[in-house]
Amino acid sequence: MALNENLRLLPQRTMRSILISLSHRRALARAAVRSPLTRPIVARFVAGETLQEALPAILALKRAGLHTTVDVLGESVGSRDQAAAAVDRYLATIAALSERDLDPNVSLKLTQMGLEIDRACCLENVLRVVEAVRGVSGFVRFDMEDHTMTDATLEVWRAAHEAYPRVGVVIQAALRRSSADVDSIIAAHGRVRLCKGAYDEPASVAYRTRSAVDANYARLMERLLVADVQPAIATHDPRLIAKAISIVEREGIDRDRFEFQMLYGIRRDLQRTLIDRGYQVRIYVPYGTEWYPYFMRRLAERPANVGFMVRAIVKEEGRRLKGH
Ligand code: FDA
């Protein structure tokens, strides 16, 4: 049976788990990054490997009326030096955005700042980025990683948010704990980006069906909108977006009190529709060479391109093993 046929027969949930587990495989990452075959698919989701490549994409989004938040790709660094290098890349990015009059708004992952190495070192690194963002009146958002990082991420967020209020964090509707987390962030006047959650989490901590995740998303979204804490509604799901619009219309919430957020390259039609209707939309723009785990999570969300991707990697690995 052809590879594509086999892939189609896998239940979506199993496919998602496989892809998320492959996202942690460094050997595959090396093969994928080297393969020219993966480039065209990756380019749909990643604005470039360098800042120079990403800047025109960010400028084009601005010209189209979209706001942006820039992610310098990277996560789970293995050393303090790698974390320091990631900080430097963020500082250069913030400076370049500000010089060009582009949104000095960035998103980062705390494991990229050394969270798994040493929490104090991570906080130090994060505060360097926060200082740079404060210097240009910008904004920084801490992405949320898998559930083993949630407590530590929120702890570092609290410290950074005390230093500078324009530091936001992400909450995942998939996690059972998120209702309590949203309440405590609202109490601290923190800014939440609400997303469904991109990781394959166990049932002990997460809702595992689409309907349960969506229902929790709708509940948390309503709480955040009504609390008037400038939430970011991060989803491409038309039903949840329609629900958000019905809440803001019912409650008379101004359009500058919240924003929609979407990922670079996904549902451009919907991005346009929302802008045309007068809503604020911010696009999450990732760039950098460390795109593999980010890309695999995007595949896991919609496995349509998986057959092509897997064939490309297998071919590349086969060549490598034959010594070509
Ligand atoms: P859903 O998965 O139901 O998709 C709805 C529709 O959107 C699909 O039917 C399809 O049309 C389209 N779509 C969604 N994903 C697609 C893809 N990869 N390729 C093509 N089409 C796709 N997660 C996390 O755990 N931590 C984080 O910090 C963040 N940060 C973040 C920032 C922003 C701005 C966004 C938009 C999302 C995140 N996420 C995230 C990812 C999030 O958790 C979730 O995995 C994705 O947004 C997909 O879920 P949707 O809400 O779009 O719904």
Query: Of all protein residues, whose CA lies closest to atom 9 belonging to ligand 1?
Result: 237
| Residues noted as catalytic | 143, 193
Does 7 fall in a domain?
A: no
**Which tens digit of pLDDT belongs to each residue from 186-222?**
999 999 999 999 999 999 999 999 999 999 999 999 9
Q: What confidence score (pLDDT) does residue 8 get?
A: 62
**Which tens digit of pLDDT belongs to each residue from 41-93?**
899 999 999 999 999 999 999 999 999 999 999 999 999 999 999 999 999 99
Q: For ligand 1, what atom is nearest to the CA of residue 236?
A: 52
Q: What confidence score (pLDDT) does residue 232 get?
A: 98
In whole numbers, what is the pLDDT of the chain averaged over residues? Answer: 92
Count of domains forming the chain: 1
Domain CATH number, residue 238: 3.20.20.220
Average pLDDT over residues 116-143: 98
Query: Of all protein residues, whose CA lies closest to atom 12 belonging to ligand 1?
Result: 236
Q: Is the CB of 198 under 6 A from ligand 1?
A: yes
Does 34 fall in a domain?
A: no
Q: What confidence score (pLDDT) does residue 205 get?
A: 98
Q: Is the CB of 146 under 6 A from ligand 1?
A: no
Does 11 fall in a domain?
A: no
Average pLDDT over residues 220-249: 98
**Which tens digit of pLDDT belongs to each residue from 284-293?**
999 999 999 9
N residues, the chain: 324
Asked whether 90 and 132 are in contact (CB, 8 A), the reply is yes
Query: Of all protein residues, whose CA lies closest to atom 30 belonging to ligand 1?
Result: 143
**Residue 42: what residue type?**
V
Tell how far the Cα of 301 is from the centroid of ligand 1, in angstroms: 7
Pocket test residue of 196, 220, 258, 273 for ligand 1, highest count of atoms within 8 A of CB: 196
Does 277 fall in a domain?
A: yes
Query: Of all protein residues, whose CA lies closest to atom 3 belonging to ligand 1?
Result: 237
Does 208 fall in a domain?
A: yes
Q: What confidence score (pLDDT) does residue 29 get?
A: 78
Does 1 fall in a domain?
A: no
Pocket test residue of 69, 144, 236, 299 for ligand 1, highest count of atoms within 8 A of CB: 236
Query: Is the pLDDT confidence value at 324 over 60?
Result: no
Tell how far the Cα of 279 is from the centroid of ligand 1, in angstroms: 19
Does 121 fall in a domain?
A: yes
Tell how far the Cα of 277 is from the centroid of ligand 1, in angstroms: 22
Q: What confidence score (pLDDT) does residue 285 get?
A: 98
Does 39 fall in a domain?
A: no
Residues of the domain holding 85: 47-290
Of the candidates 84, 115, 189, 177, the one whose C-alpha atom is nearest the C-alpha of residue 169 is: 189
